[in-house]
Structure 1
């Protein structure tokens, strides 16, 4: 009986693997995940495009100190003469698995088409807000999965990813993006925010994130630039300024700490406009006033019952860190 030489036998064993490598190409290591973007870049990347209904300059969004002071109960009087250049307040909180990007829109007046004395629907100061929830996926800016918007007494949940199913809040539909920026529609007069198209009127001002705080030239403007302001740097440091003639009012207890639920205001009602950390909408029996902003992972877990990897352990939450 003849035998193959050892070298020939080895050749027969190795040859198929050589052919396989030749067909598939050289083996390469898995790509290294890109480092996440800086918090400021994330806030700018997901800053919303805002379609604001407008009947007058009372619908122009601006900063809470548009009149040059941190007094809440003179804003109704100062609205006609104050600086109505466009600002939006922003904040980012980070867990092991997600980023929570919060944006707040301030108007000095919430008003009605009818005279306020007749309508009963006006009040001094108005702050409505929205939140974009982004899942970390190894790319610098992650994958946006949900948009939440506040309109008066309700928070509405919109889908930015098929994985979102909804929890305590039903999903209202798909939100839209404009070059990566969520699009929102803001009511004329009352300024409620929605993630689906509204019939706005009589005019519309469209605000887009930029480096300059522009003042709309009129009521029909398609590209007014707004600047982002840090909630942590511009509003949060003054959270203890509460009482008549101060910035904030309507104290409440949050985990043993006294915070302001509203901006101080006395025209057409007392202290009607919530601070970012003062919302108590859609809390059910699980959440507390303030959780939507201060503990967004807990709030989103309740609102949306997210699937897949979802951590409530914070890597960056300066607000809770400031509360002993």
Structure 2
């Protein structure tokens, strides 16, 4: 009888431990997939359009025309559907997620005499998200690419303050699909990107030309016109097999003449065929950059491509008030893939930015949080 009582007490203790553990686990946020994370923080995107050529301002994917030849994207603008897409990448430290978003246009165009245009265009932003114990974390800051300049923004309540770069404004958000999303906007023609409403002439009013794009994990839509207020864009992982990053890696040691997609590291090929530069404007070649090729012309110790390759360093330089902030990565596929391909300071990709020591960058990867 005594043994039975001891046995029952032991079973009760074990059950209590199990129930308590399960209760604690319910309060711990499960790690989201990168797609879920990107979708939760993806911008509601206001694209200014110009009636001279609405299609020149539609966002789409690089291979919208069915191939990865960079020098026919300008030429094919009117030949293929421009369904809406945007690219994203996620890298992770012990304290933050860093998510880049980029919007592709086949043409950076103009109808202004003596201006300049070029084939291909990819501009976007970096979202800085603190891992606060909730499933999707808490946004703390945003840095956008506006041609050759970066602009910094923070949402209401963010602890971040101006660092070596001044904060340029506040992130406006709107509820969509159960979460708050930042609003971003791009100019017509040149497509420089800032937090809404700081770029272009489209705020969403009925008498303005523009498209409002909404993020989706499953759906891509074609605008009905250059004045469509509800178009879904499909999120594409930069790291997807046979995607844009894989094409960069495959061509990283090739010369521009041998490559199909890239002129050099982080820069798409582009030529003047198909009418680029026709008339008074001029056409510059090889002028569109990827997130690992974006650069601010005067931001000091942040170098070309760091918005994607080393976003924790960029954030550490741009902002103060970061608090507990890790600058090394438990996940950074950019760095890992470069290392796996055998790239280092003695074997650099063609066109690699000289200011970034690839061995030091590779040393920022770690296996776990302490």
Counterpart among 213, 230, 236 of residue 229 in structure 1: 236
Q: Return the alpha-carbon distance in structure 2 between the equivalents of residues 245 and 209 of structure 1.
A: 36
Measure how far apart 1:245 and its partner are.
7.3
**Corresponding residue of 2:56:** 58
> Out of 124, 128, 133, which is 1:133 matched to?
128
Report the CA distance between 1:35 and its aligned residue.
2.5
Q: Is the 8 A contact 2:143 2:152 kept in 1?
A: yes
How far apart are the structure 2 equivalents of 1:306 and 1:247? Answer: 44
Once residues 107 and 245 of structure 1 are traced to their aligned partners in structure 2, the CA distance between those partners, rounded to angstroms, is 24
- Structure with the largest fraction of strand: 1
Q: Select 2:37's aligned residue among 32, 37, 42.
A: 42
Query: Which residue of structure 2 lines up, in the alignment, with residue 200 of structure 1?
Result: 201
Change (3 A) 1:213 1:269: same
Cα separation, 1, equivalents of 2:105 and 2:141: 25
Paired with 1:306 and 1:38, the residues of 2 have a C-alpha distance of 28
Q: Distance in 2 between matches of 1:31 and 1:249?
A: 47
More deviation, 202-211/277-286: 277-286
Change (3 A) 1:126 1:30: closer
The answer to whether the 8 A contact 1:36-1:139 is kept is no
1:80 aligned partner: 78
Q: 1:206-228: per-residue Cα shift (whole Å, max 9, x none)?
A: 00012211110111111101101
Question: Equivalent of 1:152, from 132, 138, 147?
Answer: 147
Q: Counterpart in 1 of 2:137? A: 142
- Find the residue that maps to 1:37 and give its secondary structure: coil
8 Å contact from structure 1 (residues 283, 289) kept in 2: no
Please, which of 247, 268, 274 is the counterpart of residue 289 of structure 2? 274
- On the 8 A contact 2:119/2:270 being kept in 1, the answer is yes
Question: TM (normalized to structure 2)?
Answer: 0.73
Contact 1:36–1:138 (8 Å) recurs in 2? no
The count of aligned residue pairs is: 286
Counterpart in 2 of 1:238?
A: 247
User: Could you report, residue by residue, the CA deviation over 1:268-300 in whole angstroms, capped at 9, with x for unpaired residues?
Assistant: 111000022111215644232211111110111
Cα distance in 1, alignment partners of residues 24 and 261 from structure 2 = 55
Once the 2 structures are TM-superposed, how far is the Cα of residue 105 of structure 1 from its aligned partner?
A: 0.5
Per the alignment, do residues 261 and 38 of structure 1 end up closer, same or farther by CA in structure 2, a change over 3 Å counting? closer
1:314 to 2:329 alignment: yes
Instruction: Report the alpha carbon displacement of residue 173 of structure 1 after superposing the two structures with TM.
Output: 1.6
Measured in 2, the distance between the counterparts of 1:143 and 1:46 equals: 9
Name 2:261's counterpart in structure 1: 248
Q: Is the 8 A contact 1:128 1:152 kept in 2?
A: yes
Pairwise CA distance, 1:307: 2.4
> Of 115, 118, 124, which residue of structure 1 is paired with 2:119?
124
Distance 2:194 2:96 in 1: 23
Higher-Rg member (1/2): 1
State the 1:322 CA deviation: 1.2
User: Compared with structure 1, are the counterparts of its residues 30 and 70 closer, same or farther at alpha carbon in structure 2 (3 Å cutoff)?
Assistant: closer
User: Any stretches of 5+ residues in structure 1 without a counterpart?
Assistant: 1-27, 252-259
Contact 1:35–1:138 (Cα < 8 Å) also in 2: no
Greater shift in the superposed pair: 40-49 or 196-205? 196-205
Partner of 2:270: 265
